[in-house]
Amino acid sequence: MTAPQATLLLRLAGPLQSWGDRSVFNRRETRPEPTKSGILGLLAAASGRAREEPLDDLLGLHLGVRVDQPGSLLRDYHTVSDYRGRPLPQAGVSAKGVQKPTSPAKHTHVTQRFYLQDAVFLAALHGPTALVETLAEAVQRPAFPLALGRRSCVPTQPLFLAVRQTPLLEALENEPWQATDTAKQLYARDRGRPATVRLPATVDDPNGEDSATDVPRSFAPRERSFTSRRIHHLWITLPTGFSNARSAPDSPSSHDPFALLGW
């Protein structure tokens, strides 16, 4: 007999988020939406798990992410130098395990980090009801500080939205639009207060047309490794909730010859 299933809904929002799936030397990028490793890391931290603990139960959760507010990309430019004026060390080490100085001497190192600013995502995790309810409780009373991809990226409230007794896709299709009031006002101004909004989403799907290498095998510092998952991209249409809303501009039945005049 199959165990009862439920869906945990989280609102991932904050001034800054960063969901990297690769890091190349002095450049740390972010994906345009949360990674599975980042979300499972948040749940593991909320549950008080050590980095070395197994993740088997969390890896069994099916993930869906809806982009309610894409935000914008921010590049953070850094320079690194030794306050004593010494040359910076290189990656190589000596026979004694001490980092070698750069040759020729390098006194300034440039690094770049990328973030999403003012983004809002709806994350849905579907799995056994007992596990989902345990994680919901942990998110509301986390054992460790929670972050949106990096420690410096603190989530705003509410983070926990609900536990729904529905399938993953149904939960994503029925949860109200989570964009900020400011973003909704701008959307209404630019599009003439449409009745609906179309939001991109990505869900786990073994037959999906795309893949993402963001499934963690372990969070242990010396054993970090990842594998891939198949994903499916789709669009979800939601009501905007605007008063005096008009039909969507791209709808065949919504042509209004006076819309450009603001009538």
Check if the beta carbon of residue 118 is closer than 8 Å to that of residue 71: yes
Residue 124's contacts (CB-CB under 8 Å, 6 or more residues apart) are 7, 8, 9, 10, 63, 64, 65, 66, 168, 171, 172, 175
Same domain, 212 and 188: no
Same domain, 130 and 233: yes
Give the CATH number for residue 114.
3.30.70.2660
Tell me the residue range of the domain where 219 lies: 5-78+104-168+200-238
Same domain, 134 and 258: no
Question: What is the model's pTM?
Answer: 0.84
Give pLDDT, residue 23. 67
Check if the beta carbon of residue 147 is closer than 8 Å to that of residue 34: no
The answer to the question of residue 206 being in a domain is yes
Same domain, 152 and 245: no
The answer to the question of residue 86 being in a domain is no
pLDDT tens for 162-184 read: 999 999 999 999 999 999 999 99
Same domain, 204 and 251: no
Identify the band that residue 246 occupies on the pLDDT scale cut at 50, 70 and 90.
confident
Instruction: Write the DSSP string, 122-179.
Output: EEEEEEEHHHHHHHHHHHHS-SS---SSSTT-PPPSP-EEEEESS-HHHHHHHSPP--
Task: Say how many domains are in the chain.
Answer: 2
Q: Which residue has the tokens 């603001």?
A: 262
Same domain, 154 and 248: no
- Give the whole-angstrom CA distance, residue 125 versus residue 136: 10
Identify the band that residue 106 occupies on the pLDDT scale cut at 50, 70 and 90.
confident
Same domain, 13 and 60: yes
Burial of 234 (0-12, 13-18, 19+ CB in 10 A): middle
Rg (CA), the chain: 22
Same domain, 116 and 47: yes
Same domain, 223 and 117: yes
Same domain, 128 and 209: yes
Same domain, 9 and 134: yes
pLDDT tens for 28-45 read: 889 999 999 999 999 999
Same domain, 66 and 184: no
